[in-house]
Amino acid sequence: MIMPGSGIIAQTRLDLALPTDNDTLLRGGGPEFYQYVERVYKGVKSTPWEGGQYGFVRDPVETTEGLIYTRFHEGIDIRSVQRDGRGEPLDQVRAIADGKVVHTNFVPGYSNYGKYLVIEHRWDGSSYYSLYGHLSSITVKPGSVERKGDQIAVMGYTGVGLHQARAHLHLELNLILSHQFEAWHQALPSANRP
């Protein structure tokens, strides 16, 4: 961060923890870390792990410039490493940093994230929010204060388009830039078009 008018660059070191026992990303294990997506492109079915990464990694389209991906994935999908004899995921989900639980959703059909929860973290006076999605169970309640590494849930496959083999944790880290977004968006001429 650059401090306005000072010429000083301030750095904040975030002390984050992995949210599950899957640590293969730290050893270069992309295919073992990210959950694959199920894709049909030009009639060919595939299961690319790259679709579990952050960014424009889904819905490929061929263009004159080459293959581009047109759908943005807002988080990362971390694959399960612990299952019971029936194939159900057992992975504990833990808070990535200290914070307060600000939202829990226990009804899978209310969101594409299925059962999910949100924790607010405060860094350098600003709020950031970690979202943990597709959970099978949630063990915390809004208002509870969690420490980095505390168990908050169990991984699952709730939400749209998931099945047992694709059980994973969807993790996002977000910030709110403006509490006036809705008013700003409604004021745009394009927002009022049918």
**Whether pLDDT at 12 is above 90:** no
At 141-168, the pLDDT tens digits run 999 999 999 999 999 999 988 999 999 9
Q: How far apart are the first and last CA of the chain?
A: 41
pTM for the structure as a whole = 0.84
Across 10-14, 43-47, 103-107, 157-161, least confident range: 10-14
Q: Residue 51 contacts by C-beta under 8 Å, 6 or more apart in sequence?
A: 34, 36, 37, 39, 57, 58, 73, 77
At 93-148, the pLDDT tens digits run 999 999 999 999 999 999 999 999 999 999 988 899 999 999 999 999 999 999 99
**Whether pLDDT at 191 is above 80:** no
Quote the percentage of the chain above a pLDDT of 70: 91
Pick the CATH number of 19-177 from 1.10.3720.10, 3.40.50.2300, 2.70.70.10, 3.20.20.70: 2.70.70.10
Give domain limits for the chain. 19-177
Distance CA 52, CA 75 (A): 8
Q: Report residue 133: phi and psi, to 5°.
A: -115, 165
Q: What is the CA radius of gyration of the chain?
A: 19
Q: Are 134 and 169 in contact (CB under 8 A)?
A: yes
Distance CA 94, CA 33 (A): 16
Residue range 14-34: average pLDDT?
A: 94
Residue range 17-38: average pLDDT?
A: 95
DSSP 103-162: EEE--GGG-TT-EEEEEEEEETTEEEEEEEEEEEEE---TT-EE-TT-EEEEEB--STT-
Q: Report residue 15: phi and psi, to 5°.
A: -100, 90
